[in-house]
């Protein structure tokens, strides 16, 4: 992993020195363990701030929206797919970007680590597929595969789909994983059970909109939840309003979501709202053979018409 | 209220189903009074917000027709 | 749209889509009849209705 950091710094320095880009967006060490933050570097001598490890789960495509500068951006598989989506939606131009591709082997779920140790986490280090967590009580080691974010453990697009530079050779993609097993489990329930399931799932939501803000797809100038004339959805914690919010948020991501997991990662109460977006991803794949952000020259499923589009839901 | 009657909020396209509804009326056809028609300029104006808002405010079903 | 509502536990027959030309008044009447019958069979909508009084 440290070779990734070296390589990212080296490429960033070169790009900045040669004035190929005005800034590089990457990650820097967070003030707390496992909380790496997005970081914008504008000067070649500042590249030492950039780092890379398995705590870079935030989606950097979110920081590109409507930018006018020439930007170098560090991108793992899911970020690169979101960058493609951004390009398709005219939120950034391909010519503006130098994409520094990072083959990704999954990001650590900090909640899984926190649940596994006692007391405050002082530092986290990783080597050879193992994660060592230092607490006041002592050190504890986890297998990285066991503490991955759920979306990373079923990810089938680990390598960037577009890139100008690569920091390492592509990693092997996972095969034999079923990304939609959890959605299928819910589909198998009765309407009654499903209603209850989501009631419990969404009950802790405090409507902080962290999931919306972390999402690279949510760039509307005024979000529907902030509109007051007309007011589409109440602002309180009424269960129906919460459900409406999550439903519409997921729906706005239909055919665009790359399951990067930024929403779930950002959620302060740990709601797995990805189940909703994933259901739409699953349907998009089944109905239109579409997965978001895989090619720059294909229009998204929901803005193309094909004569054989499914229409069995219409009377 | 002796017997429950469903309220069906219907979003009808001005040029298609709204026209059909108009024609049905002009032709003196009979149909159940449970549909509450909202005329939209085109089915493209439809948004999931509308459907959810209707259900939230107590509609028993939503019908979108182009 | 329908699929996700169903996933959340709304009954399938609570939302309908159809395609009727402006000349098809007979189809209009037919569809209204069908939908009304289906919704009647379902009974009143208990879910997704906001219970508290809404401040407009």
Query: C3 to chain A, minimum CA–CA distance in Å?
Result: 8
DSSP C7: H
- pLDDT interval class at A36 (50, 70, 90): very high
Per-residue model confidence as pLDDT tens digits over A40-60:
999 999 999 999 999 999 999
pLDDT of A118 higher than 70: yes
Residues of chain A found within 8 Å of residue B53, distances taken between Cβ atoms: 232
- A100 strand-pairing partners: A74, A165
Coil, helix or strand at residue C1: coil
Q: Which residue in the block uniquely carries the two structure tokens 């598989």? A: A77
pLDDT of A10 higher than 50: yes
pLDDT of A191 higher than 70: yes
Residues of chain C found within 8 Å of residue B24, distances taken between Cβ atoms: 25-26, 28-29
- pLDDT interval class at A84 (50, 70, 90): very high
Please check whether residue A200 is in contact with residue A120, taking contact to mean a CB–CB distance below 8 angstroms: no
Please check whether residue A233 is in contact with residue A209, taking contact to mean a CB–CB distance below 8 angstroms: no
Determine whether the interchain pair B49/A248 forms a contact, defined as Cβ–Cβ distance below 8 Å.
Answer: yes
C12 CB near a chain B CB, below 8 Å? no
Per-residue model confidence as pLDDT tens digits over A265-305:
999 999 999 998 998 888 888 888 888 888 888 888 777 77
The tokens of B55 are what?
């259900």
pLDDT of A314 higher than 90: no
Q: How far is Cα A51 from Cα A39, in angstroms, rounded to an integer?
A: 10
pLDDT of residue C54: 42
Of C15, C33, C36, the CB nearest to B62: C15
Query: B59 to chain C, minimum CA–CA distance in Å?
Result: 7
Nearest residue of B to residue A225 by CA position? B49
Looking at residues C18-42, what average pLDDT do you find? 85
- A190 or A27: whose pLDDT is higher? A27
Nearest residue of A to residue B48 by CA position? A248
Positions of E strands within chain A: 23-28, 37-41, 50-51, 71-75, 97-101, 121-127, 130-135, 138-143, 165-166
Determine whether the interchain pair B52/A248 forms a contact, defined as Cβ–Cβ distance below 8 Å.
Answer: yes
- A314 strand-pairing partners: C17
Q: Which of A108, A258, A281, A287 is nearest to A180 (CA)?
A: A281
- What value of ipTM does the predicted structure carry? 0.80
Determine whether the interchain pair C45/B55 forms a contact, defined as Cβ–Cβ distance below 8 Å.
Answer: yes
- Using CA atoms, how far residue B43 sits from A133, B11, B46, C17, in Å, is 56, 8, 5, 10
Which subunits count as partners of chain C given 3+ CB pairs below 8 Å?
A: A, B
Contacts from C5-8 at CB under 8 Å and sequence distance 24+? C5/A247, C6/A191, C6/A194, C7/A183, C7/A186, C7/A187, C7/A194, C7/A276, C7/A279, C8/A194, C8/A195, C8/A198, C8/A243, C8/A247, C8/A276
pLDDT of residue A286: 86
User: What is the share, in percent, of chain A residues with pLDDT greater than 70?
Assistant: 99
Determine whether the interchain pair A232/B48 forms a contact, defined as Cβ–Cβ distance below 8 Å.
Answer: no
pLDDT of residue C51: 54
Looking at residues A15-29, what average pLDDT do you find? 94
- pLDDT interval class at A102 (50, 70, 90): very high
Determine whether the interchain pair B52/A224 forms a contact, defined as Cβ–Cβ distance below 8 Å.
Answer: no
Determine whether the interchain pair A247/B53 forms a contact, defined as Cβ–Cβ distance below 8 Å.
Answer: no
Per-residue model confidence as pLDDT tens digits over B23-55:
999 999 999 999 999 999 988 888 888 888 888
Which subunits count as partners of chain B given 3+ CB pairs below 8 Å?
A: A, C
């Amino acid at each position: 992993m440290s070779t990734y950091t070296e390589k990212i710094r080296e490429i960033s320095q070169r790009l900045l020195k040669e004035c190929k880009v005005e800034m590089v967006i990457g990650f820097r060490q967070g003030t707390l363990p496992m909380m790496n933050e997005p970081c914008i570097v504008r000067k070649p001598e500042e590249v030492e701030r950039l780092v890379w490890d398995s705590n870079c789960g935030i989606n950097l495509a979110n920081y590109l929206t409507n930018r006018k500068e020439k930007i170098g951006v560090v991108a793992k598989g899911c970020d690169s797919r979101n960058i493609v989506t951004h390009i398709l939606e005219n939120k950034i131009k391909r010519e503006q970007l130098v994409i520094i591709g990072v083959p990704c082997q999954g990001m650590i779920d900090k909640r899984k680590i926190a649940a596994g140790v006692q007391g405050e986490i002082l530092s986290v280090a990783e080597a050879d597929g193992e994660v060592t967590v230092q607490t006041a009580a002592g050190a504890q080691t986890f297998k990285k595969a066991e503490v991955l974010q759920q979306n990373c453990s079923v990810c089938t697009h680990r390598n960037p789909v577009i890139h100008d530079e690569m920091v390492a050779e592509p990693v092997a993609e996972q095969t034999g994983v079923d990304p939609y097993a959890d959605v299928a489990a819910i589909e198998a329930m009765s309407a009654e059970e499903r209603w209850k399931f989501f009631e419990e799932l969404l009950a802790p939501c405090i409507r902080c909109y962290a999931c919306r803000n972390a999402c690279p797809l949510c760039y509307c100038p005024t979000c529907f939840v902030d509109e007051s004339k007309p007011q589409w959805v109440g602002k309180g914690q009424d269960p129906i309003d919460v459900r409406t919010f999550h439903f519409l948020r997921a729906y706005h991501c239909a055919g665009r979501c790359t399951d990067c997991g930024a929403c779930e990662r950002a959620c302060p109460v740990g709601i797995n709202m990805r189940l909703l977006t994933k259901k739409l991803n699953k349907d998009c794949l089944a109905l239109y053979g579409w997965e978001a952000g895989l090619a720059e020259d294909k229009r998204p499923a929901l803005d193309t018409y094909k004569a054989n589009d499914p229409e069995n839901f219409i009377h | 209220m002796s017997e429950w009657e469903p309220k069906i909020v219907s979003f009808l396209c001005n040029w298609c189903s709204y026209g059909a509804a108009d024609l049905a009326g002009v032709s003196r056809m009979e149909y159940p009074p449970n549909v509450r028609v909202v005329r939209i300029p085109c089915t493209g104006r439809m948004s999931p917000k509308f459907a959810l808002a209707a259900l939230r405010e107590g509609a028993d079903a939503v019908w979108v027709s182009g | 749209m329908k699929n996700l509502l169903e996933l959340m536990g709304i009954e399938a027959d609570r939302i309908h889509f159809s395609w009727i030309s402006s000349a098809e008044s007979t189809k209009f009447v037919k569809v209204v009849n069908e939908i009304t019958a289906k919704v009647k069979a379902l009974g009143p909508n208990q879910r997704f209705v906001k219970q508290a009084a809404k401040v407009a």
